[in-house]
Amino acid sequence: MPIQGRPATVRLTAFTDYGLRMLMRMASAPARAFTTAELAAEFGLSRHHLTKIMLRLGRAGIVATRRGGGGGALLARPPAEIRLGEVVRLLEDGQAPALCLAPGPGAACGLDGRCRLKGRLRSAEAAFLADLDRASLADIALPALHPA
Amino acid sequence: MPIQGRPATVRLTAFTDYGLRMLMRMASAPARAFTTAELAAEFGLSRHHLTKIMLRLGRAGIVATRRGGGGGALLARPPAEIRLGEVVRLLEDGQAPALCLAPGPGAACGLDGRCRLKGRLRSAEAAFLADLDRASLADIALPALHPA
């Protein structure tokens, strides 16, 4: 259940959120190849979106592709060896940025060089990712939502 | 300068961002009262926005109001006693939520009760805020941008 009235500092993009769901599912059956069509149907998400995410995961060597009948994508490494921080860093890279930590017009605040907050936020972000790195995909593996 | 090509996991709302700027400025002259009009002019931000933020900071006992000539808002406690995590928790509370950690329709993902990611994100968020709590407003105090 959602939790009322708590701070929500952690904002993952939909890209990262969907990517994590796919990987959670794949981690529950690491020997099996999954198609994006099948994952899209299982989670009720857009196949187009998932295909883009899968491409990025493939380029980074987190998933590999198996061709032919029963083909699809599967984890390229054992789930216990894929840390959550690694996945989040990869999926968040280049996505809608933090207000002042990232490039783009929204990032300009006029305090450049005088802002000591930036370093503090960077340190806190590192703590966030380091904490995620304490867990792996094996820790969040998700069995089939609608077992056949 | 903004930093290219790095992950941007930390997404503070504009509400939090502006609140931090106001507090940074106030921390550089803790004995002085600031008006929202003056802070809005200095940072080039909407006075309406800053007034709403100041109200929340006042209710939480982070700023106090001084009436009359030379009146305005000032820090209610020494800057070294106001931790950044406290400020961020307060300002982020009830703002645009994380995808799966917060209430609202966007939070529904259909994995309730089976999602082991949520606990990991909560732990990482706690690490983020704990790291911010290692610093105080005194550490990020910001002198006047345009000294008279």
**Helix crossing, B36-43 with B14-27: angle to 10°?**
110
Higher per-residue pLDDT: B62 or A142? B62
State the CATH class of domain B14-140. mainly alpha
- pLDDT, tens digit (0-9, with 9 covering 90-100), for A95-125: 644 445 444 344 455 666 677 887 888 888 8
Query: Which residues of A fall within a CB distance of 8 Å from B143?
Result: 114
Domain ranges within chain B, ordered by starting residue: 14-140
Nearest Cα residue to B72 out of B24, B43, B44, B30: B30
Q: Which residues pair with A73 in a beta bridge?
A: A34, A65
Do B121 and A20 form a contact (C-beta atoms < 8 A)?
no
Write the single-letter amino acid at A113: G
Determine, for residues B124 and A129 on separate chains, whether the beta-carbon distance falls below 8 Å: yes
Q: What is the distance in angstroms between the Cα of B68 and the nearest Cα belonging to chain A?
A: 31
Can you give the three-state secondary structure of B9-75, one letter per residue? CECCCHHHHHHHHHHHHHHCCCCCCECHHHHHHHHCCCHHHHHHHHHHHHHCCCEEEECCCCCEEEE
Q: Which of A95, A117, A127 sits opposite B131 (nearest CB)?
A: A127
Residue-level pLDDT at A134? 94
Q: Which residues pair with A136 in a beta bridge?
A: A83
Do B20 and B53 form a contact (C-beta atoms < 8 A)?
no
Query: Which residues of A fall within a CB distance of 8 Å from B15?
Result: none
Q: Provide the mean pLDDT of chain A.
A: 81
Please check whether residue A4 touches B, CB under 8 A.
yes
Residue-level pLDDT at B110? 61
Do A93 and B6 form a contact (C-beta atoms < 8 A)?
yes
Please check whether residue B88 touches A, CB under 8 A.
yes
Nearest Cα residue to A15 out of A104, A103, A88, A122: A88
DSSP state of B138: H
Signed CA dihedral, B65, B67, B95, B113: sign only = positive
Residue-level pLDDT at B105? 40
Complex ipTM over 0.95: no
**Helix crossing, A117-132 with A84-92: angle to 10°?**
130
Enter the tokens of residue A14.
Answer: 């939909």
Query: Which residues of B fall within a CB distance of 8 Å from A124?
Result: 10, 128-129, 131-132
Q: Which of A12, A88, A139 sits opposite B116 (nearest CB)?
A: A139
Q: Residue B140: which pLDDT band, with cuts at 50, 70 and 90?
A: confident
Burial class, B143, CB count within 10 angstroms (exposed 0-12 / middle 13-18 / buried 19+): exposed
Please check whether residue A144 touches B, CB under 8 A.
no
Q: What is the distance in angstroms between the Cα of B12 and the nearest Cα belonging to chain A?
A: 6
- pLDDT, tens digit (0-9, with 9 covering 90-100), for B108-130: 566 666 778 888 888 888 898 89
Determine, for residues A145 and B114 on separate chains, whether the beta-carbon distance falls below 8 Å: yes
Please check whether residue A64 touches B, CB under 8 A.
no
Task: Indicate whether this model's pTM tops 0.80.
Answer: no
